[in-house]
Amino acid sequence: MLLPRQTDNIMLSEKPSDHIDFVLGALNDANPNARALGYLVTRALLGKLSGQHQLSVAQRAIQAMAIETLSGMEDFMKGSDNLQSVRHYLRFSIVVLILS
């Protein structure tokens, strides 16, 4: 329930780009909880956006996640603990959402 409200607030704000910058910056935050929230919000935001806005945010998300190729994505869960598993799953789900 929190994520739809958060993404609506971002999209309806006067400067959504500032909020999107903040969310994408959270993808590399030192705090693992902030990173996980950043991935959740990014995924929800990409699901709500469309057209050029969605493509722009998707490109920036891939840059923020430092994804250069999709090779090795089949082993994305290998050697992960619980919190890392969530982050890896969210990262993978964002890539899948972008590609679909």
Give the confidence band of 39 by pLDDT, cuts at 50, 70, 90. confident
- In angstroms, the CA 11 to CA 84 distance is 29
Identify which of 58, 62, 37, 60 has the alpha carbon closest to the alpha carbon of residue 49.
58
Give the confidence band of 23 by pLDDT, cuts at 50, 70, 90. very high
Q: Which domain holds residue 65?
A: 2-99
Place of tokens 């309806």: 12
Mean pLDDT of 66-94: 60
Provide the number of structural domains found in the chain.
1
* 10-19, 30-39, 48-57, 79-88: least confidently modelled range: 79-88
Q: Is the pLDDT of residue 27 over 50?
A: yes
Token pair for 72: 């090795």
- In angstroms, the CA 61 to CA 66 distance is 8
Query: What are the start-end ranges of the E strands in the chain?
Result: none
Mean pLDDT of 17-22: 93
